[in-house]
Amino acid sequence: MNEKLLIIPEPDFLQGLNDQQRQAVTSTEGPLLVLSGAGTGKTKVLTTRLANLIFSNKAKNFQILAVTFTNKAANEMKRRVESLIKKPIEGMYIGTFHSIGLRILRKNASYVNLKNDFTILDTDDQLRLLKQILSYLNLDNKKHNPKNYLYFIDSLKNYALNFDQISNHEFEIHTNGILSKVYESYQKRLEGFNAVDFGDLILKTLNLLKKNENVLEYYQNTLRYILVDEYQDTNTAQYLLLRLLAAKHQNICCVGDEDQSIYGWRGAQLSNILNFEKHFKKSKIIRLEQNYRSTGNILSAASSIISENTERIGKTLWTNDSDGRKVKVINVDDDTAEAIRMCEIIKQLIEKNKNPNEIAVLTRASFQFKEIEDRFVKEGIKYRVVGGPKFYDRKEIKDAIAYFRIIVNWDDDLALERIINIPKRGLGTKYLSDLYKNSRTKNISLFQSLKEHLALKIFPKKLLDSMNYFVNILESNQKKLSKKIHSDIAGELLEEVGYCDMLKDDKTYESEGRLENLKKLVSDINNRNSLGDFLEEVSLVIDNSSDVNEKKKISLMTIHSAKGLEFDTVLLPGWEEGIFPNQRNIDEHGNKGLEEERRLAYVGITRARNSLSIFFANYRKQYNQSLYRTIPSRFLSELPKKSCDLKVEDKMEKEYPRIIESIKSEKFRVGDKVFHENLGEGIVLGISNDKVQITFQKTKEVVKVLADYLKKLN
């Protein structure tokens, strides 16, 4: 009897993948690093890999963990996977590192001295708490800036360091041993509030898994396949968490691009992706190099610049597309001329019916915006600043959310402190201080302390009445939570406490806008299952982008904000030494700083699909409006001549090509070993005109010296 083999047809979603993409999708077992260059279909690979795991019955939904860096990316991934497999993927662990940490902590809160309804603090709450702690420790806020301590604590948590692990850390040495006391007090107060900060969502999860084998075993057994997006942006704590979770099955797939690692300033560790093969034994690397976004000349420019970096695994982008138009390198006289020239280019494009939404001006830093914005206004060019103040950062929104937080969690002292006198109820700093003193002495919440003061009638009659009214409103609305639509409660609460009347009485244009914002907030709450769910979601909103899909407007943003976006036309102003590369980054971090600047240039260039213009000026305005002479960015010398078209648009037509050419053939380059007669041997960190920045071996000092006094060593 002849047996027929059952052949399962290949799913449609595997069609259209190139060889490397297909390999990345179907190589499901063991550690895998997918090096995905700009525009090579990273999102397609990630979503198709997820779809394939489910389609091939490799794992159930709840056995897959997919980690992204933004909620937007997580939602988009979920939508695309569901579209591919034609069914919902409920139950899958998919979200940001913070949301995954939150999910694990909610289920196991008691292991880390928390109740499962704990609150997540925002930056304002953290700063207020640190001010209180510094005051309690008798430390002057002028000498001991709370923002500095917030930065220290956040950085330590990114490195997975608890307060008892920092005795020899540079931050602890810098603060003369004070930081550990502040950090310890800060953590104890958080526990007292039944609250965490963003750093805790990872660090506490990490501590939980390290100290509780049964919990660790549960998640290791459950999560059989792990996918990580933007792996080059992970910090130490995130890497350690992933390594713990993947330790049993080792089926971890990380997708990233070392050439797009531009967030070192906020804790991202490039070494995580560079050392993937060391961290995960028997791992495999697949390179995605076929670019589907940019023309050949744009790719050539990007590849030429990034090839100067040494800290990279390496890949070469290519395209089947044409070379396209050459990259324009435009020299102008000063910042004003630069802005005028950009406006001319933009207007010409719009006259040719180019969509303004497909045009972007990307700067190294936000201080470059002013001159450009002023010119846009004068020329009548409509624009949007992407990455500006966000909706949830507005004062009225923060106040409203604080009201919602307190009726959900009476232990949220920081929320109560924010709104206890907004609108004004006559509660001065003395009475507030008394309330806090009583709460600390008796180890009770600020709300309980307030109720005790009211019961004992400690306050004057007028204050007593206003505070009783305030407390009664909060308690009555808390009771309504289980009986009434939560959006109705939110709207009524803001009306009853007098917040809406306070804005109405203001009678200004801004107050009208604030009222509209509150209306939008309340309507948004209606789309959530509960007020608690809404607050949790708000706490996890970390996307920095504004609405980039708004029509008929040019996008103005920093290159950092532009990562992940693409435009038909990109303009890159300010390519001069000091601005780009940023001198401070080089001064503080040497060659590592320079290489991050070069990666930033690579990201900026690869945002363009068809047209790219790079600008450099002869002069720049200083803060006092005086002009200073500039030096063309060294990155200009790293551009390939065959792919670029140099446009000199001032009187110095002869001088500037010569200057750029001289940079290309300069005597010294970053990383060279050199010798100085008095200072000895050193390594070149940076070059600025005729001066060379050196770190000398003997003194360990970083010194700028004239190039003529240096000898290059082989």
Q: Which residues are CB-contacts of 127 (< 8 A; sequence separation ≥ 6)?
A: 146, 147, 150
The answer to whether 674 and 711 are in contact (CB under 8 A) is: yes
Q: For this structure, is 19 an active site residue? A: no
Contacts for 133 with CB less than 8 Å, ≥ 6 apart: 182, 185, 186, 189
Between CA 219 and CA 701 the distance in angstroms is: 48
Residue 289 is among the residues annotated as catalytic for this protein = no
Q: What are phi and psi of 444, to 5 degrees?
A: -125, 165
Task: Name the burial class of residue 152, with classes exposed (0-12), middle (13-18) and buried (19+) by CB atoms within 10 angstroms of its CB.
Answer: buried
Alpha-helical regions (H) of 380-485: 395-408, 413-419, 429-442, 446-455, 461-480
Count of Cβ atoms closer than 10 Å to residue 435 Cβ? 23
Place of tokens 């789309």: 527
CA 380 – CA 554 distance, rounded (Å): 11
Which residue among 197, 200, 230, 338 is the active-site one?
A: 230
Burial 165-190 (b: 16+ CB within 10 A, else e): ebeebebbeebeeebbebbebbbebb
CA proximity to 431, closest of 398, 454, 415: 454
Which one from 187, 260, 269, 630 is the annotated catalytic residue? 260
Looking up tokens 């709840």 gives 62
Alpha carbon distance 561, 548 (integer Å): 11
Question: Of these residues, 189, 326, 599, 607, which one is catalytic?
Answer: 607
Decide: helix, strand or coil at residue 282: coil
Angle at 441 between CA 417 and CA 152, to 5 degrees: 55
Q: Is 676 exposed, middle or buried (0-12, 13-18, 19+ CB in 10 A)?
A: middle
In DSSP terms, 681 is beta-bridged to 675
The count of other CB atoms within 10 Å of the CB of residue 327 is 25
Which token pair is 318?
Answer: 């290519």
Catalytic annotation present for 363: no
230 is catalytic: yes
Distance CA 549, CA 76 (A): 15
Please give the structure tokens belonging to residue 444: 């009770």
Task: Provide the β-strand partners of residue 612.
Answer: 570
Point out the catalytic residue in the list 122, 200, 229, 595. 229
Question: What is the rounded CA–CA span in Å between residue 185 and residue 137?
Answer: 9
CA distance 34 to 228: 10
User: Which of the following is catalytic: 22, 23, 28, 43?
Assistant: 43
Contact between residue 62 and residue 91 where contact means Cβ atoms under 8 Å apart: yes
> Alpha-carbon distance 418 to 70, whole Å?
28
Told to judge if 501 belongs to the known catalytic residues of this protein, a careful annotator would answer no
Helix or strand run (H / E) with residue 617: strand 608-617
Catalytic option among 21, 42, 257, 396: 42
- Residue 556 pairs in a beta bridge with 361, 385
Is 295 among the catalytic positions?
Answer: no
- Of 677, 653, 603, 714, nearest to 230 by C-alpha is 603
3-class DSSP state of 254: strand
CA-closest candidate to residue 211, choices 335, 96, 72, 113: 113
Closest listed residue to residue 36, CA positions, set 299, 277, 256: 256
Q: What are phi and psi of 575, to 5 degrees?
A: -85, 75
As annotated, the active-site residues are: 42-43, 229-230, 260, 607
